[in-house]
Structure 1
Amino acid sequence: MDRVIGFYKGNLKPLVDQYVPEGSAMSSSVYLTGAAAIIVTAILWRNLRLTSRKATKKDHQRRKKPARASAKKEHDKPIPMTPERRIHNVRLRFLDEYEQGVLKLLENYNAGDKDQIYQRNYYNEMLLKLLIELDGIDLSNVPGEKKLTLKQQRKTVIKEIQTHLKLLDKLA
């Protein structure tokens, strides 16, 4: 702001003083209008420079992308997870992220504490999401014995999660 005022006093004020006398009522409005015009011009000029730089960078990146994109796509393609891997993944998330928190909450739960009520609802929601994820695992294309094994694994994880859900429901 000091630079703007300095610029005004050094460059614009002498011009304004030539046409508008110092003591007139119009001089202050001319000063304010001039200052506002300078500020708006500086802001517009800066924004124009920034957007033109961004456009230049984007154009430069677009030119380079096609060569990298094909190599990157082959590398970044997600590997489809097998049903047994998905079941194992859900169980690990339950054990790593939620089981200890639920057990800790059960130890010292206070129904009057809003934070603990929030935690109970949070764990309830997260465990339900895990159950829904387990329900979404399609075993219809899995052959014979492997299908029975996977069903049993899924059933075991579901029971484990449901046990903790029942404990949370008793807190309410």
Structure 2
Amino acid sequence: MRRLGFRSSSRHHRGGSGPRRTSVLGIPVQLILVAMVIAALLGALLAAALEQSTASRTHSGSSAVDAPTGAGKNSSGLPVITETTLGTEVQRLVDAGMIQPPTSFDATECLREQGIQDSILIMEEVAWGTDETHGWLLVHGPMDRETLRANGGTVSATVVLPNCGSADGGDVDPQQSRLWSGSVMIGSL
């Protein structure tokens, strides 16, 4: 009786000398695994970025317009502002059309002491920074308030201590009265 067998040729059988490659639809499995790992990492990065951008948007728009003890205000009812929330607060003031409240100091003289010749557009008593230093936010610029509300633009903002521009400021250097100074871009109403 003759045995049926298969003959192996060197062309078809390598004798186990090389790794066996598997593929799915002609694509090597290793390449599919690498693509899946990269996709998972990108998904995690995008989820983290979305969470962070949503959290910072909620944080920056947290100041309440009329609530005396609402979010963004301290126990005295003063808005708590920092460099990161200053632009939002100035925009809120411009949108609300606030008029200049009475002050315990001469705000015009305060700006003059700071070397600033602009007119004051809006001002607000604030708590500045993480230590909530009592101060005043002075929004000033070369334009009037109505033009700013209608067209938007760049205005200057200066945060000063309450002794700025007052006679009881004594011999204090005007630069020591300034907590922050810079420019803020305002959108039109």
Report if TM-score (shorter chain) is over 0.5.
Answer: no
Where relative contact order (Cα < 8 A, 6+ residues apart) is larger, the structure is 1
Greater strand content = 2
Structure in which a larger fraction of residues adopt helix: 1
TM-score normalised according to structure 2 size: 0.27
